[in-house]
Amino acid sequence: MKRIMIVAFILLFITAGLALVPDGRAYACSCVEANAQEKLKTSTAVFTGKVVKKGGTQIFSPDRLRAYTFDVDTAWKGVSAKRMTVMGNDAGSESCGIQLEKDQSYLIFAYQNKMDNKLHTNLCSGNVSVDQAGDALKLLGAGKAVSQDDFGEAGYGRSWSFYFIIYGGVILLLILVSGWIWRRKKRA
């Protein structure tokens, strides 16, 4: 009798659990519709460019971010270099994720993230392949053609943090070697 009661309770919980599971898929991402001019006003950077580098997904980031580096062709707003890096949410479209392909050109609407001070974009930003951006490009009007000459040599250079790490490592290595030599002379 006790076994029958246990089996009955297990079946009851399984049946109740199945009844509570929704029938369809739930989508967490919903975007506010806006045209290209409205997105231009609310975005930090707007440009067309070709994806020249597709970084790896930061799997330990809660947003699953991926860095996309663009070779910028035309700018409407917020472009500070010929090469721009934009962080994209690499999760699926149900989480407003975006998948951009290397060697493809896109119209990008990016915003400045207050947490890491980097440019970010997602499914709701309004990014579109340049091939499909005809109407949006007409609404934006003529942008400014971007060339490396607009930014000098710094556009392709490395950031100050890269040089800080390299020079700091060299200085630390020199200090360690000098200390080792001094210690050996002291023992002799």
Dump pLDDT digits (tens) for 123-178.
889 899 999 988 999 888 988 988 877 765 444 455 667 777 888 888 888 898 88
Q: What is the per-residue pLDDT across 47-60, written as a single tens digit (0 to 9) for each?
A: 999 999 998 877 66
Contacts of 95 (CB under 8 A, 6+ apart): 28, 29, 89
Residue 26: is its pLDDT beyond 50? Answer: no
β-strand pairing of 144-145 with 119-121: unpaired
| CATH 2.40.50.120 corresponds to the domain 36-162 | yes
Predicted confidence band of residue 24 (pLDDT cuts 50, 70, 90): very low
Distance CA 63, CA 90 (A): 7
Domain ranges in the chain are 36-162
